[in-house]
Amino acid sequence: MATTFIILKPDAVERGLIGEITTRFERRGLRFLAFELRQLEASLVQQHYAEHRGKPFYDDLVAFLTRGPVVVGIIEGPAQVVEMVRTMMGATDSAKAAPGTIRGDLAMLVDENLIHGSDSPASAEREIGLFFPEFRPV
């Protein structure tokens, strides 16, 4: 078994899509090991998105992620769980995301794209450590 990390971004919470999105993962057979509604500090979001510092959308991205509560979660699944969750999310630019994916069915913008999911096992480990420093696999 392996784990990955997700954020349901403020647009998902504002639009009442927490249930819709989490149900998709649970129906697929994936399991939440952690799940928490949280107001993020800008400093934590900046650390999380450090790779994008300096890009034109960076400040807007940090403002967006802190404009209201998000859900942070840890998902457990088979060895490929990181890739499974990314596939279920769809393309970053929701307008290009395939139907059947979360973004392809529920969003249409690149910035308000509902969900973050770790892009590799190494990112998942880093992000779980950042958002859930106390977490130990059960």
Ligand X SMILES: Nc1ncnc2c1ncn2[C@@H]1O[C@H](COP(=O)(O)OP(=O)(O)OP(=O)(O)O)[C@@H](O)[C@H]1O
Measure the CA–CA gap between 15 and 86, rounded to whole angstroms: 21
Q: Rule CB under 6 A: is residue 87 a binding residue for ligand X?
A: no
The rounded Cα 93 to chain-centroid distance in angstroms is: 14
48 among known catalytic residues? no
In angstroms, give the least distance from the CB of 138 to ligand X: 25
Q: Rule CB under 6 A: is residue 92 a binding residue for ligand X?
A: yes
Interface mask (CB under 6 A) for ligand X, residues 107-136, using x and -? ---xx-x--xx-x-----------------
Measure the CA–CA gap between 20 and 71, rounded to whole angstroms: 13
Token pair for 98: 């395939």
Q: Rule CB under 6 A: is residue 83 a binding residue for ligand X?
A: no
* Contact footprint for ligand X (CB under 6 A): 57, 61, 92, 110-111, 113, 116-117, 119
